[in-house]
């Protein structure tokens, strides 16, 4: 259960086409992440799947059944909103029980499921509190609890972690991944944070201006980005792009090399430059190196102990096998 297919889905708001015809296949049990820059239509796409927005054209089917015209409640999907959207006047218990109550389930079964969800999510101590009396992370868990009690065909998450602080975000990320491993239910997760995308996804869908730029596993996208956009979007820090004569020497219009595939060599390097910023993270060091004839500094990853400081001159050498080549249209050349 939990297979979703979008075929030729189009969404227009008035004259603005937010989603041009789009095809997408989401398999049962997959953890799919929609990632892309702000305003690219991730939330819109998720809301189309949820049924909160009507498609302008095209079809959505869930588990082989046409769901294009189905109201949200009938699609058997559960959604966790960015603002959590808890009901402020209800206790945590009532919040979690709400979808079951709406489904007219009997009280004993409701209690059983709510207690089960509370146990899974460590909410036992808070069941009688109101959402206003909880921390952000706890609220997030309540929102997830409200979603899991329904045993939906798929979960939809719209940037669920963006209101949390960095430490909590990492923790919740793990919890959601564990939840997925345990429930084996399809999850669709929207984020603009490519680290979240890389760490959680079975399959990443990179979107730009409503178009699917590439679909694939995190490592596929990392190893073989199909175009310049994906190459620049996936990976942190960003890939370095080089155009001009050097690229032409490789038979391409643009070549890209990731910071982690450049090494600092004592002599005989391909590029020589001056370090403008060095960021020491302990485990790694990121150097931003100004190179003659390049507008942007080149980013290089070294190990944590690189003895380089601001203003030093270094020689850099790329790993030739890891160079990505792109043609004039920005598409990858194999």
Ligand X SMILES: Nc1ncnc2c1ncn2[C@@H]1O[C@H](COP(=O)(O)OP(=O)(O)OP(=O)(O)O)[C@@H](O)[C@H]1O
CB of 189 to ligand X, least distance (A): 12
60 CB-side CA count, 13 A: 27
- 265 touches another protein by CB under 8 A: no
CB of 73 to ligand X, least distance (A): 21
Question: Count of residues for the chain?
Answer: 334
Residues that bind Mg ion (CB under 5 A): 43
Record the tokens describing residue 200, joined without a space.
């959680």
| Measured distance CA(145)–CA(119) in Å, rounded | 10
Check: CB of residue 41 under 8 Å from CB of residue 65.
no
x/- letters, 177..216, toward ligand X (CB under 6 A): ---------------x------------------------
- 222 touches another protein by CB under 8 A: no
DSSP assignment of 247-281:
HHHTTSSEEEE-GGGEEEESSS-SEEEEEEEEEE-
Segment lying near ligand X (by CB under 6 A), choices 32-40, 103-111, 114-122, 266-274: 32-40
DSSP assignment of 30-93:
-EEEEE-STTSSHHHHHHHHHTSS--SEEEEEETTEE-TT--GGGGTEEEE-TT----TTS-HH
Question: How many residues sit in the footprint of another protein (CB under 8 A)?
Answer: 24
Q: Which residues pair with 35 in a beta bridge?
A: 191, 206
Q: Restricting to residues 76-95, which ones interact with another protein according to CB under 8 A?
A: 77-79, 81-83, 85-87, 89-90
The end-to-end CA distance of the chain, in Å, is 37
Residue nearer to ligand X on the CB measure, 47 or 301: 47
- 72 touches another protein by CB under 8 A: yes
Residue 182 contacts which entry, another protein, Mg ion, ligand X, none (Cβ below 5-8 A, type-dependent):
none
Segment lying near another protein (by CB under 8 A), choices 2-10, 96-104, 218-226, 273-281: 96-104
Q: Which residues bind ligand X (CB under 6 A)?
A: 13, 16, 18, 36, 38-44, 192
Q: Which residues bind another protein (CB under 8 A)?
A: 50-52, 71-73, 77-79, 81-83, 85-87, 89-90, 98-99, 102-103, 132, 146, 150
């Amino acid at each position: 259960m939990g297979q979703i297919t979008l075929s030729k889905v189009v969404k227009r708001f008035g004259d603005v086409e937010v989603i041009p015809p789009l095809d997408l296949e989401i398999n049962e049990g997959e953890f799919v992440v929609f990632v892309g820059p702000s305003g690219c239509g991730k939330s819109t796409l998720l809301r189309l799947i949820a049924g909160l927005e009507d498609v302008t054209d095209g079809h959505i089917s869930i588990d082989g059944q046409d769901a294009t015209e189905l109201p949200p409640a009938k699609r058997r999907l559960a959604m966790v909103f960015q603002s959590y959207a808890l009901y402020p006047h209800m206790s945590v218990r009532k919040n979690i029980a709400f979808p079951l109550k709406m489904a007219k389930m009997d009280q004993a079964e409701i209690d059983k499921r709510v207690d089960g969800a509370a146990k899974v999510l460590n909410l036992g101590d808070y069941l009688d509190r109101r959402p206003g009396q909880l921390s952000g992370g706890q609220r997030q868990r309540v929102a997830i609890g409200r979603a899991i009690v329904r045993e939906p065909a798929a979960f939809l998450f719209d940037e669920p972690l963006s209101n949390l602080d960095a430490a909590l975000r990492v923790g919740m990320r793990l919890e959601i991944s564990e939840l997925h491993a345990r429930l084996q239910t399809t999850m669709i997760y929207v984020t603009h944070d490519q680290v979240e995308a890389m760490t959680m996804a079975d399959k990443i869908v990179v979107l730009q201006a409503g178009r699917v730029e590439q679909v694939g596993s995190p490592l596929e996208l990392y190893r073989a980005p199909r175009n310049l956009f994906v190459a620049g979007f996936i990976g942190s820090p960003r890939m370095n792009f080089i155009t001009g004569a050097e690229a032409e020497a490789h038979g391409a219009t643009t070549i890209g090399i990731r910071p982690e595939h450049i090494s600092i060599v004592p002599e005989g390097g391909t590029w020589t430059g001056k370090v403008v910023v060095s960021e020491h993270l302990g485990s790694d060091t990121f150097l931003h190196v100004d190179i003659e004839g390049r507008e942007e500094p080149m980013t290089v990853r070294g190990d944590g102990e690189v003895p380089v400081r601001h203003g030093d001159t270094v020689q850099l050498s790329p790993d030739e096998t890891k160079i990505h080549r792109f043609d004039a249209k920005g598409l990858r050349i194999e």
